[in-house]
C-alpha cells in the first residue's frame, strides 16, 4: 500500500501587520521538515478569531532599539471587540497614519510594501503583508473563515457562531443553547439566535485541532509554545506533533 505524501501544517491567527517572530519560526520549522520528508506545507490561518490583541505589532526603533507597539484601528467598538478578524474593517486613514510612523522602524522597501497593501479588513491585510515578505512562498493557505472550509469541517461540541449584532457581524460563544458575547469578567450579552448553519461555525481553542484536521488531513502539525499547553493529541492521534523551533523575542515582528 503506497504511503501518502506528508502534509506539514502549522496554525496561527493573524498576528500583526508584520508577522511575529514565532510565526516565522513555525514557517522555518515547516520548511526544515519538508526538506527532510517532502510533501506540502499548509498554513491554517485562523482568521475567525476575534481578539484584537492578536494583531498587536511590536517593532524596534532602528537607532535606539526601543520597542513600540502598534495595532489596527477598527471602524467601530463593536467590530474591535467582537467581530471576527476577517470582518474587522480597518478604519479610514489608519494605513496612511501608520505609514508615517514606520520610517524610524523599517527599511524603505517594507514601508512601500505596507503602503501598497490594499485590504479592507484586518485578516486580509495581514495575510497580504505576510505574502509580500515572501514568508508564505510555496505554502497553501486554508482559512477558518472560508465558508467552504466550514461546510467541509466536522461537527464539534464547543464552538462560536458568527451572527449579526447592531449592524455588525460578531463572533458569539455558543453556551448551553444560547449565543453569548463576553463583556468582561462574569458579564455576557445573550443574543437572540433562532437558527444557524455550518457556514457560521468556527471552533474554540479546545476543539480547533480536530476541526482543522477534518479539513486539512495533515500528517505533521507544528505546535507553538502556547499551543503545547492545551493541544489534546488524542483528538487527532494520527498527527505527529512537532514543537516549533525556538526563537528569541518571539512576540516581536519579524521584518
Grid coordinates standing for 255?
521584518
Q: pLDDT per residue over 125-146, tens digit each?
A: 999 999 999 999 999 999 999 9
Residue 159 pLDDT grade (very low, low, confident, very high; cuts 50, 70, 90): very high
Predicted confidence (pLDDT) per residue in 168-189, tens digit = 999 999 999 999 999 988 899 9
- The predicted structure's pLDDT at residue 86: 98
Asked whether the predicted pLDDT for residue 49 surpasses 50, the reply is yes
Of the chain, the percentage scoring pLDDT greater than 70 comes to: 99
- Give yes or no for residue 254 having a pLDDT over 70: yes
pLDDT at 3: 47
CB distance 151 to 143 below 8 Å: no
Q: Would you say residue 240 has pLDDT above 50?
A: yes
pLDDT of residue 57: 98
Render pLDDT for 199-226 as a digit per residue (tens, 0 to 9).
Answer: 999 999 999 999 999 999 999 999 998 8
Question: What local confidence, expressed as pLDDT, does residue 225 receive?
Answer: 86
- Nearest Cα neighbor of 69 from 206, 254, 225, 252 is 252
* Residue 1 pLDDT exceeds 60: no
What does the DSSP assignment read for 114-182? HHH---SBHHHHHHHHHHHTTTTTT-EEEETT-HHHHHHSPP-SSEEEEEEETTEEEEEEEETTEEEEE
Residue spans of the domains in the chain: they are 7-154+207-243
Statement: residue 2 has pLDDT above 80: no
Amino acid at each position: 500500500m503506497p504511503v501518502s505524501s506528508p502534509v506539514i501544517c502549522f496554525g496561527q491567527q493573524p498576528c500583526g501587520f508584520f508577522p511575529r517572530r514565532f510565526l516565522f519560526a513555525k514557517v522555518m520549522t515547516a520548511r526544515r521538515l519538508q526538506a527532510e520528508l517532502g510533501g506540502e506545507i499548509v498554513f491554517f490561518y485562523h482568521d475567525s478569531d476575534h481578539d484584537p490583541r492578536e494583531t498587536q505589532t511590536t517593532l524596534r526603533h532602528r537607532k535606539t532599539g526601543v520597542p513600540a507597539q502598534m495595532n489596527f484601528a477598527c471602524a467601530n467598538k463593536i467590530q474591535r471587540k467582537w467581530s471576527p478578524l476577517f470582518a474587522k474593517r480597518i478604519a479610514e486613514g489608519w494605513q496612511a497614519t501608520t505609514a508615517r510612523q514606520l520610517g524610524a522602524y523599517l527599511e524603505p522597501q517594507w514601508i512601500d510594501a505596507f503602503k501598497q497593501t490594499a485590504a479592507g479588513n484586518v485578516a486580509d491585510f495581514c495575510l497580504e503583508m505576510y505574502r509580500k515578505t515572501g514568508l508564505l512562498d510555496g505554502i497553501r493557505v486554508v482559512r477558518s473563515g472560508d465558508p467552504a472550509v466550514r461546510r467541509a469541517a466536522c461537527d464539534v461540541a464547543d464552538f462560536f457562531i458568527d451572527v449579526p449584532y447592531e449592524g455588525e457581524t460578531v463572533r458569539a460563544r455558543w453556551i448551553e443553547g444560547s449565543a453569548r458575547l463576553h463583556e468582561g469578567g462574569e458579564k455576557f450579552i445573550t443574543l437572540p439566535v433562532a437558527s444557524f448553519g455550518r457556514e457560521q461555525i468556527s471552533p474554540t481553542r479546545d476543539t480547533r485541532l480536530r476541526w482543522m484536521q477534518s479539513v486539512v488531513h495533515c500528517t505533521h502539525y507544528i505546535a507553538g509554545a502556547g499551543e503545547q499547553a492545551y493541544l489534546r493529541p488524542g483528538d487527532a492521534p494520527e498527527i505527529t506533533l512537532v514543537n516549533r523551533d525556538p526563537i528569541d523575542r518571539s512576540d516581536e515582528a519579524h521584518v
